[in-house]
């Protein structure tokens, strides 16, 4: 990447390329982590990386190489915020796909949810706790996440499931 911040599409393409190269053994954990750190410097870059890495059929986010964890932790709040939002969205979408009887899409949303839970377990605990508490307040109609939740028009069943996923982070951490 260049010193210019990538667009979301550029970040998607870079993440796809780097994750694919890592899968093939063409990039070490450390080189991949260095490339990802470049994407994590901007919101579009981070969004693009997670849009790919959380959803693709790759062991990367299931294995979580230590070098990558270090970069994700050092990126701080931007990563925690995106993973918490992805946890909420994937949890709600699991219910949506279940209602639509779309088992393939449901399985994909469940995989993203599981990956988010695993990621939140290894990120900076105080940032994670604070961000999850903010989302809980949003589910109760307070704070900055109210608009995020309204945007997606989640119903009560989805909100209850999101709340359960939030508490599952603490359970996974123990």
Structural contact between residues 60 and 22, judged by C-beta atoms closer than 8 angstroms: yes
* Ramachandran sector of residue 153 (left: φ over 0; alpha: ψ -120 to 50; beta: rest): left
pTM for this structure? 0.93
CA distance 83 to 2: 25
For residue 101, count other CB atoms closer than 10 A to its CB. 8
Residue 33's Cα: distance from chain center in Å? Answer: 16
Boundaries of every domain in the chain: 8-74, 76-173
**Tens of pLDDT, residue by residue, the chain (174 residues):** 446 899 999 999 999 999 999 999 999 999 999 999 999 999 999 999 999 999 999 999 999 999 999 999 999 999 999 999 999 999 999 999 999 999 999 999 999 999 999 999 999 999 999 999 999 999 999 999 999 999 999 999 999 999 999 999 987 655
- Write out the DSSP string of 1-43: --SSPPPHHHHHHHHHHHHHHHHTTSS-HHHHHHHHHHHTTSH
Torsion of CA 109, 152, 165, 157, to 10 degrees: -100
Q: What angle do CA 170, 72, 139 make, to 5 degrees?
A: 40
Torsion of CA 96, 117, 57, 65, to 10 degrees: 170
């Amino acid at each position: 990447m260049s010193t210019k911040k990538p667009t979301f599409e550029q970040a998607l393409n870079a993440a796809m390329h780097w994750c694919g190269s890592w899968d093939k053994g063409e990039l070490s954990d450390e080189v991949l982590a260095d490339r990802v750190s470049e994407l994590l410097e901007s919101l579009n870059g981070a969004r693009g990386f997670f849009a790919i890495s959380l959803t693709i059929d790759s062991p990367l986010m299931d294995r979580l190489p230590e070098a990558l964890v270090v970069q994700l932790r050092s990126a701080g709040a931007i990563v925690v915020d995106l993973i918490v939002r992805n946890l909420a969205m994937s949890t709600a979408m699991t219910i949506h796909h279940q209602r639509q009887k779309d088992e393939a899409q449901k399985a994909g949303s469940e995989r993203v949810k599981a990956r988010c839970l695993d990621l939140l377990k290894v990120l900076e605990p105080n940032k994670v706790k604070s961000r999850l508490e903010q989302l809980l307040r949003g589910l109760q109609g307070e704070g900055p996440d109210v608009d995020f939740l309204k945007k997606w028009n989640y119903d009560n069943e989805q909100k209850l499931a999101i709340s359960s996923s939030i508490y599952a982070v603490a359970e996974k951490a123990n």
